[in-house]
Amino acid sequence: MKADAEEHPSVNTAKRYKLSEAAVEIIAKAGAVHGQQSRAIQVAAELAYWNAPLGDDSQWQHIVLDSKLTGKTYKLPERTIALIEGMEPSFGTLGNVMAYLAFVLTQIEEPKLFGKSPMRKKEKRAASKAIKELLK
């Protein structure tokens, strides 16, 4: 017997983002490596929040500037959604956060590029507070 949705809520939430087609392609390719796209986004969000690979700070921006925007829905854990939303002030838009996460996914195999997070301590504290509020 199958449980009703109210009895067994999903641990993931469908969330729609407006992001570049290039970022969608990168996330799709990383999804093959990580087993699913949502897992790839989850890994990238954690890396981005806790000192992601940077390389050149502006290097990730070509992912946004060089392709058209599209809408894409991902089923993500609440924590991942909270991390993405917590990083939005540092990047300007959720689409820019997703583009940065796509960039992070392209850099995972290059440990020499790991560096400091683009978020300052003050921004991390604000993001942590926002995440705690969202998870209440």
State yes or no: pLDDT of 5 exceeds 60: no
Q: Quote the CA–CA distance of 101 and 75 in Å, as a whole number.
A: 16
Q: How confident is the model at residue 113 (pLDDT cuts 50, 70, 90)?
A: very low
Q: Quote the CA–CA distance of 28 and 34 in Å, as a whole number.
A: 10
- Ramachandran area for residue 20 (φ above 0: left; ψ -120 to 50: alpha; else beta): beta
Give mean pLDDT, residues 33-57: 79
pLDDT of residue 61: 78
Least confident of 62-71, 75-84, 86-95: 62-71
Give mean pLDDT, residues 100-118: 66
Q: Quote the CA–CA distance of 118 and 6 in Å, as a whole number.
A: 39
Give mean pLDDT, residues 57-72: 79
State yes or no: pLDDT of 57 exceeds 80: no
State yes or no: pLDDT of 110 exceeds 50: no
State yes or no: pLDDT of 54 exceeds 80: no
pLDDT of residue 70: 93
Give mean pLDDT, residues 45-71: 75
- Which CA distances in Å does 42 have to 56, 66, 78, 116, 121? 23, 24, 10, 19, 22
pLDDT of residue 41: 95
- pTM for this one? 0.70
| Maximum C-alpha span of the chain | 54
